[in-house]
């Protein structure tokens, strides 16, 4: 199973880099998104105040299974504490997305692999075709 990061979802809707082909190959039912990514997409939609952006978010919401973060709360605490203890900084939203992937044994699909590689045990893939 694949958890699609927010950056991948944005790129998917732009029709670039072969992401849709990779989703089709993996199978739509094997690709999910976090509630956190959905929230981040809505932030972007409200910033743009653009009807097309809201439509895009709604299409993604209707297309993919949305994974709740409840099962990832303990994992979030573990990751956040570890990062703080080692002097590393990572956005809380990204920690929630990573924690969701870990708690559910998903592979996180992101173009920010360097960014997320600081999280131990997190399986990462980058589906961007340059």
Answer whether 41's CB lies under 8 Å from 6's CB. Answer: yes
Domains in the chain, start-ordered, CATH in brackets? 2-125 (3.40.50.1010)
Q: Per-residue confidence of the chain (130 residues) as pLDDT tens digits?
A: 999 999 999 888 777 788 889 999 999 999 999 999 999 999 999 998 878 888 989 999 999 999 999 999 999 999 999 999 999 989 999 999 999 999 999 999 999 998 899 999 999 999 986 5
Q: Answer for the pair 108, 101: CB distance below 8 angstroms, yes or no.
A: yes
According to the 3-state scheme, what is the secondary structure of 82-126?
A: HHHHCCCCCCHHHHHHHHHHHHCCCEEECCCHHHHCCCCCCEEEC
pTM: 0.93
Query: Virtual CA dihedral for 95, 96, 99, 104, nearest 10 degrees?
Result: -150
Place of tokens 């990062």: 83
């Amino acid at each position: 199973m694949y958890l699609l990061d927010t950056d991948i979802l944005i790129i998917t809707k732009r029709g670039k880099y072969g992401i849709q082909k990779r989703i089709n190959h993996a199978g739509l039912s094997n690709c999910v998104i976090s509630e956190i990514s959905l929230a981040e997409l809505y932030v972007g939609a409200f910033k743009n105040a653009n009807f097309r952006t809201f439509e895009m978010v709604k299409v993604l919401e209707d297309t993919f299974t949305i994974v709740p973060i409840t099962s990832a709360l303990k994992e979030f605490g573990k990751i956040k504490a570890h990062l703080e203890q080692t002097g590393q900084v990572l956005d809380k939203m990204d920690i929630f997305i990573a924690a969701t992937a870990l708690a559910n044994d998903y592979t996180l699909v992101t173009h920010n692999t360097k960014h997320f590689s600081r999280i131990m045990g997190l399986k990462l893939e980058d589906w961007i075709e340059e």
